[in-house]
Amino acid sequence: MSHFCEDRICIVTGAGRGIGREYALMLASHGAKVVVNDFGGARDGTGSDAGPADEVVAEIEAAGGEAVANGADVSDFEQARQMIEQAVDTFGGLDVVVNNAGILRDRMLVNMREEEWDAVIRVHMKGTFAPAHHAAAYWRDRSKAGQPVDARLINTASVSGIYGNVGQTNYGAAKAGIASFSIIASRELARYGVTVNCIAPGALTRLTEDLHPGEITDEMRERQSPRWVAPIVTWLASRESSDVTGRVFESSGNVLAVAEGWHRGPSTEPVDDPTTLGPIVRDLVSRARLNADMQGQDSDGGLG
């Protein structure tokens, strides 16, 4: 067992399967003590099952690591508070929260039902806010009490949110919001010894396998294995990463990159007559960089 994250006390939400499972296993293999959170719902958020979290804990313990299961609904404010308390009560503190839990309810905008919008926004956005809030309050109190804090908040965005994917207005809006949330939180929490970063992962999991048209080859399955995403999260969770904050990292078996956020593009003096704006706006747009495609590169036209 490596000592890269030795005795770092970590919570990983949505850690019973897929990418979250890989996070928990790798963190534990590097010496972290892990709270394995998983509500155990289906990919659309329905149902619950304690089995996946328990299985990951058993796997960690069998390898000589330390872990405990947690079945909280991370979008429930009180349950999120109790999850933070479980880490502190069980392991004596808290160093890292990885907000990974999520669901999908994809639908074209004109067909999306209100409950599909609400469920995705609740799990992703409130399910990031609630654990982050309670963890941040814990770290602030320790800092104000003069105790050392070297903590990490690691959230989960998506290329669907930062670049934009058709059929995912609910999911993309939530993930773009989480990216902005992370940048703002990094500025607020720096004074307390907390870094905040965000991962936009790419992997084949039960949430994403059916989004790929055609046959999934063995090579594709390997290149898109969740195991490729875990190293950057493990590094960010370590003590070594204390000088990196406020960043969004795109991570998959194909790429590790820093996503660059919104910047002001071409500009001009303000205009008070809307009837004169046509040629001015078209000139600004013609000189502006195109919106990125799903590979994070300038698109070749379309709607920009």
Provide the residue range defining the domain that includes 126: 9-259
Q: Which of 64, 68, 6 is nearest to 31 (CA)?
A: 6
Q: What share of the chain is helix, strand, coil (3-state, %, to 5)?
A: 45, 15, 40
- Active-site positions read 171
Q: Where are the alpha helices (DSSP H) in the chain?
A: 18-29, 51-62, 77-91, 114-121, 127-144, 159, 169-189, 218-223, 230-237, 277-287
274 and 205 in a common domain: no
Q: What's the pLDDT score for residue 304?
A: 44
Q: Which of 256, 304, 255, 258 is nearest to 282 (CA)?
A: 304
CATH number of the structural domain spanning residue 252: 3.40.50.720
Query: What is the token pair recorded at 66?
Result: 């330390």
292 and 167 in a common domain: no
CA distance 46 to 26: 28
Does 1 fall in a domain? no
Starting at the edge strand that comes first in sequence, how are the strands of the sheet with 96-98 ordered? 66-70, 33-37, 9-12, 96-98, 151-156, 194-201, 248-251, 256-259
Q: What's the pLDDT score for residue 43?
A: 54
In whole angstroms, how far apart are CA 181 and each of 85, 101, 111? 23, 16, 28
- On whether the CB atoms of residues 203 and 225 are closer than 8 A, the answer is yes
Residue 154 CB contacts under 8 Å (≥ 6 apart), including other chains: 96, 97, 98, 99, 196, 197, 198, 199, 233, 236, 237
pLDDT tens for each residue of 128-154: 999 999 999 999 999 999 999 999 999
277 and 193 in a common domain: no
206 and 167 in a common domain: yes
Q: What's the pLDDT score for residue 15?
A: 97
Does 4 fall in a domain? no
For the entire predicted model, the pTM comes to 0.91
Q: Which residue has the tokens 């010496």?
A: 31
275 and 182 in a common domain: no
- Domain count for the chain: 2
Query: What is the token pair recorded at 258?
Result: 């820093």
Handedness of CA 182, 186, 187, 192 (dihedral sign): positive
Of 223, 244, 259, the one marking the end of a domain is 259
Does 3 fall in a domain? no
Q: What is the largest CA-CA distance in the chain?
A: 71
The series of mean pLDDT values per 10 residues for the chain, 304 residues long, is 91 96 98 95 62 96 98 97 98 98 94 97 98 98 98 96 93 97 98 98 64 63 82 98 98 94 95 96 96 81 46
290 and 154 in a common domain: no
Buried b (16+ CB within 10 A) or exposed e, 277-289: eeeeeeeeeeeee
275 and 244 in a common domain: no
